Amino acid sequence: MAVGLSQTGYLSEAELRDSPGVPSEARRRRGPVAVIECTEHIPCNPCEASCRVEAIAVGADITNLPRLDEEKCIGCQSCVPICPGQAIFIVDESLPDERAAVTMPYEFLPLPEQGEVVTVLERSGAVLGEAPVTAVRKTERMDQTAVVTIEVPRAWSMQARAIRLKR
Ligand code: SF4
Ligand code: SF4
């Protein structure tokens, strides 16, 4: 059996590739799209209800893995703070100069500020490098979860999954 989430605590490249929630590279290049990194068959489905364009399907059996319809997804970010597993990201590989935007849930305080340079981490917690924060969204409806966007080299778009403040 290939090494993955159950052994390491984080998703392997193979697990991501096989996930029904991960959009194609071609779709990511066209603009913002959800990347649903949910690969355990747990009873959960708020992501499905949060999507007003019905781009996420879990179905009647709520232990099904969420399936993304990459053509329906408009990258609106509504599903990101809703997921209790913090498993949904928005990736936009359409930026010029081989850059990408990665949007992620963030549940720590203080919040980062727009323009602040932060440390970027992989799923494993390993440091990828540094990146500027380009947006921070927080609303009452989101409870304790903010949604933070960073701009990174495109090569990091499927690796950059957390940030750490430098202050
Ligand atoms: S980003 Fe918006 S459109 Fe895309 S799956 Fe999430 S809620 Fe639906
Ligand atoms: S809300 Fe999150 S943890 Fe629950 S099924 Fe959707 S992606 Fe998975």
Model pTM score: 0.95
* Interval 16-61: pLDDT, tens: 888 999 999 999 999 999 999 999 999 999 999 999 999 999 999 9
Tell me the CA–centroid distance for residue 129 and ligand 2, in Å: 28
Nearest ligand (C-alpha, residue 68): 1
Closest ligand 2 atom to Cα of 88: 7
- Whether the CB of 38 sits within 6 Å of ligand 1: no
Question: Max alpha carbon distance in the chain (Å)?
Answer: 46
Residue 159 · residue 37 · CB < 8 Å: no
Question: Which atom, in ligand 1's list, is nearest to the CA of 76?
Answer: 2
Helices (H), the chain: 5-8, 13-17, 25-30, 46-50
130-139 residue pLDDT tens: 999 999 998 7
Give the model's pLDDT for residue 110. Answer: 93
Q: Where are the domains of the chain?
A: 20-164
